[in-house]
Amino acid sequence: MFHLLEAQQFTKRNLRELFDLSSRLETILARGGDECLKGKILTSLYFTPSLRTRFSFEAAMLRLGGSILSTEAADIFSSELKGRFEDTIQVVSEMSDVIVLRHYESGFAKRAAAVSCVPIINAGDGPAQHPTQALLDLYTIDRHLGGVDGCSIAMVGDLSGRTVRSLCYFLAKFHGISISFISPDLTEIKDDIKEYLQRHKVRFTEITNPKDGLVDLVKEVDVVHITQLSKEYFTDHLEDYKKTIRNYALSAKALRAMKRSAVIMHPLPRADELPDESDSDPRAIYFRQNRYGLYVRMAILCTVLSCYPKFL
Ligand code: CP
């Protein structure tokens, strides 16, 4: 049984197979979808909110003929929170063929996998990992740059979060990667990720005091991957947030300075970190990135359930 729990479990070859399958499923979807998951049930088990991940997994299941068990969460889980997490997983796994789990604590996807009789897909476990978001990010890079090897990427914003962590684990599988981490101290990249990148010989630099709206930091890179600096970090100090976001948002000047071949990515939701001009810029591919999530998650479901369209 294949549980999708963390980025480290993939090989470069697995990634290529998954990305090829994602592209083929896009074509199948354009021709009306498929029924290869007919009779299968996906349970959405979200202990914290999600819009993009949850809906794209549910849409992926429905587009391939499957069914979903879903819930508005809080009311049902209030009783579950008092009970044993493992019991919840065992009960739900008896009713479904795959569980997509988001939990507010690190390590809970692995705990679920230890007792589940069906595949667990980690849709985000606390600050630890969000491997399926990072898979669609990587797919987007692969597709728009024609490959991941040799890519230079500026990661800007909240680098302590699970998406960036998973993406770093994936990037470490490729050759010639260089990363600039650009963030306030508050959300800097964690030491365990830096150690992992060093072990895998990935070049990286850290910048905590960017100047001039990021112009010099983004003008040479292939990818600007920007994440939201949550206002929650500045709860009692909204003025500090406003000052900080001025330094870590992509300015219109930086957008103009970027290479024509570069791309701007964002896992969404966004707040104030992109200039108004970026939405009409052909290099801004965050909505396409989000759409690719549907194809990648269709491919993930086919893979974990070992059910594929007949005419791939
Ligand atoms: N990008 C992402 O994970 O969004 P959700 O929290 O809405 O799933």
pLDDT in tens, 174-212: 999 999 999 999 899 999 999 999 999 999 999 988 877
Catalytic residue flag (residue 291): no
Q: Is there an atom of ligand 1 within 6 Å of 267 CB?
A: yes
Choosing from 11, 13, 31, 82, which is the catalytic residue? 82
CA of 205 to the centre of ligand 1 (A): 27
Q: Over its length of 312 residues, how does the chain's per-residue pLDDT go in tens digits?
A: 999 999 999 999 999 999 999 999 999 999 998 999 999 999 999 989 999 999 999 999 999 999 999 876 644 565 666 678 899 999 999 999 999 999 999 999 999 999 999 999 999 999 999 999 999 999 999 999 999 999 999 999 999 999 999 999 999 999 999 999 999 998 999 999 999 999 999 999 999 888 777 999 999 999 999 999 877 777 667 788 888 888 899 999 999 999 999 999 999 999 989 999 999 999 999 999 999 999 999 999 999 999 999 877
One CATH from 3.40.50.2300, 3.40.50.800, 3.40.50.1370, 3.30.750.24 for 7-129+293-305: 3.40.50.1370
For CATH 3.40.50.1370, the residue range(s) in the chain are: 7-129+293-305, 131-289
CA-CA distance, 244 to 234, in Å (whole number)?
10
φ, ψ of residue 186 in degrees (nearest 5): -55, -35
| Contact of 215 with 247, CB cutoff 8 Å | no
- pLDDT, residue 76, reads 59
197 is written with which tokens?
């990148």
| Contact of 265 with 284, CB cutoff 8 Å | no
E-strand stretches of 164-283: 178-182, 203-207, 223-226, 263-265
Kindly report the length of the chain: 312
- pLDDT, residue 70, reads 86
CA of 310 to the centre of ligand 1 (A): 31
Can you tell me whether residue 81 is helix, strand or coil? helix
Q: What is the CATH number of domain 131-289?
A: 3.40.50.1370
Choosing from 24, 54, 103, 130, which is the catalytic residue? 130
Catalytic residue flag (residue 82): yes
CA of 268 to the centre of ligand 1 (A): 7
- pLDDT, residue 78, reads 57
170 is written with which tokens?
């994936």
- pLDDT, residue 246, reads 85
pLDDT digits (tens, 9 = 90+) for 27-76: 999 999 899 999 999 999 998 999 999 999 999 999 999 999 987 664 45
User: What does pLDDT average to over the chain?
Assistant: 93
237 is written with which tokens?
């100090």
- pLDDT, residue 312, reads 75
